[in-house]
Structure 1
Amino acid sequence: MPHPGWDTFAFDGIGTAWEISTPDPIAPAVRARLLQAVADYDLSYSRFRPDSRIAELARAAVTVTLPEHAEQLEAVFRTLYRLSGGSMTPLVGGSLEQLGYGPDYALVPRGPARPAPRWENVLRWDGTTVGCTEPVVLDVGAAGKGQLVDLLAEILRADGVTQYLVDGSGDMLHAGPAPVRVGLEHPYDPAQAIGVVELGNRALCASASNRRAWGDGLHHVLDAATGRPVDTVVATWTTAACTLEADALATALFLVEPGLLEEEFEFDWLRVFSDGRAHCSQGFEGVLFT
């Protein structure tokens, strides 16, 4: 969503739509750097293109080198893998493809749900170095878009831009003296909102089982320990200082009780359940419509 009254730079990248709003138009050279950062991220982490760096891991037991920011991804995923008892893992890609959500977008299950392999059994991730003992489908989608939001904001700040709204299709980071009003999309009706948040100098991320759904009860938020879609929580929102963490925690809330996550992360949250209940943290700065 564009910031009211600001100039907006809109483009597509990593399979989704982006809008970067700033008080003044972004210089052409900075726009070029932003687009290059998006292209580089896609080339590193996309499981939907055969020439990406992580695609090599799906073909053979090999070791690949990722950009420096892979260290942050590893730290967040490793922590959430531990807290979830293996239900959240970057190795969920194979389970998603088993249910039909693969590079060919067939959206037809290949067979019954398949649990993801255990991290400790097949994956060696040490900072920028990632290796596997057997072919694995790595999927960083639970945190990658949020990290890319942070990376684009870094480019803006390096050019002296101090006020901005970077919006990667709902995963956003705001900086500036005046907050922006953001609607909370209804989990069953994208044309409706269940509430609003006043977002100021924070990241806001959301995850919902209706965003990428197909077939009978199939969607992209899986419990990696079983390989099956989660059916209790239907939508989550998180706010945090870091978009990478906000994005990852929005997915983790489908699988882990908030209190456990709050022991190791500073964030606020809202969860909506399939029976219509909604719970939020005490500090969540949103208003739900009645």
Structure 2
Amino acid sequence: MPHTQWEDFSFDGIGTHWVVSTPGPLDASLRVRLLAVVERYDGDWSRFRNDSTVSAMSRKPGRYELPVEAVALGDLYRSLYGITKGAMTPLIGGSLERLGYDAAYSLRPAGEALPAPRWEDVLSWDGSVLTTSAPLVLDIGAAGKGLLVDLLAAELRSCGVDTFLIDASGDLLNNGPEPVIVALEHPYDPAKAIGTVPLTAGALCASASNRRAWGDGLHHVLDGTTGRPVRTAVATWAMADSTLLADALATALFFVPGMDLEQTFDFSWLTVFSDGSAAYSAGFEGTLFT
């Protein structure tokens, strides 16, 4: 991970632990600015906060203005919604709540799995303006943490900090001069690794069905067309220039082969399946243990 001489700024935000590592300590004013970025982002996008813009969408249809990052986020989601034929969708929030992954973290299903509404039926996403025709539970969890990593990176750069490593509980952005060797977590035993990969400049994000799992085989990666958890892939990794893209593609790998995604996106990837097999791109430079 980061060089031993580096300084860490650690905090909690959007339900996960963060570490921003830099060659020297960040001054107090910059730390405050970074925390303000996290608070603003949470206040806009969280479906777990009653006062967020996203929560307002769940109560009343209408026109909602979101920050500028909504432009890139919406374009990426729209592309992946099409590629996965509706399986990956920002409208999966209601399906997650139905199975118990709700704002109260009840983890108790309220009924059978519920498919997500079709994007074209309920949502117009035009730049940073979202217009809804019915109450809906927007959930950008498939790409949201990566988006926030990139927003924090932009804040660091705007303040003259150009060398850093951001670790959002395993989703990483390396903006340092040397590669970081990252262990690839075993999908069935977090204490073990199935391999390692060097992360040079850029982002590495992972998704795994064991990370948010509850009940009888329930986890957070749902197929929007059925509302049910995906059963084929169990863990994925994606490496790309931006953390937003790497985070989103790590989820998309649960629904479509990486080779198909490579036709649209420039990234490298690894997918581990429930039968123990694995597939990976020619550009994935990791080493898998035997």
Structure 1 and Structure 2 fold alike (TM over 0.5): yes
How far off is 1:5 after superposition? 2.6
CA distance in 1, matches of 2:3, 2:78: 34
User: How much has 1:3 moved relative to structure 2?
Assistant: 4.4
Q: CA deviation at 1:2?
A: 4.6
Aligned to 2:150: 150
Structure-to-structure mapping, 1:35-46, within 5 angstroms: 35-46=35-46
4+ residue runs over 3 A deviation: 1-4
Aligned to 1:230: 230
TM-superposed deviation, 1:159: 1.7
Map 1:155-174 → 2, pairs under 5 A: 155-174=155-174
How far apart in 2 are the matches of 1:267 and 1:23? 28
**Aligned CA-pair RMSD:** 0.9
The TM-score normalised by the length of structure 1 is: 0.98
**Which region of structure 1 is more displaced relative to structure 2, 76-85 or 1-10?**
1-10
Alpha-carbon distance in 2 for matches of 1:269, 1:262: 9
Q: Distance in 1 between matches of 2:264 and 2:28?
A: 40
Q: Is the partner of 1:265 in helix, strand or coil?
A: coil
Secondary structure of 1:234's match?
strand
Give distance in 2, aligned partners of 1:238 and 1:187: 15
Corresponding pairs, count: 290
Residue 261 of structure 2 is matched in structure 1 by 261
Q: CA deviation at 1:160?
A: 1.6
- 1:9-158 equivalence runs, <5 A: 9-158=9-158
Q: 1:97, 1:60 → 2: CA distance?
A: 17
**1:263 Cα deviation (Å)?**
1.1
Confirm or deny: 8 A CA contact 2:144 2:244 kept in the other structure: yes
CA distance in 1, matches of 2:27, 2:183: 29
Which whole-Å CA distance do the structure 1 matches of 2:229 and 2:91 have between them? 15
Q: Does residue 175 of the first structure (1) align with residue 175 of the second (2)?
A: yes
Amino acid in the other structure paired with 1:185: E
* Amino-acid identity (%): 60
Code of the aligned partner of 2:69: H
C-alpha distance in structure 1 between counterparts of 2:71 and 2:20, whole Å: 26
Aligned to 1:249: 249
For the 8 Å contact 1:3–1:165, the answer to whether it is kept is no
Uncovered stretches (5+) of structure 1, i.e. residues with no partner? none
AA matched with 1:247:
D
Contact 2:2–2:180, Cα closer than 8 Å, also in 1 = no
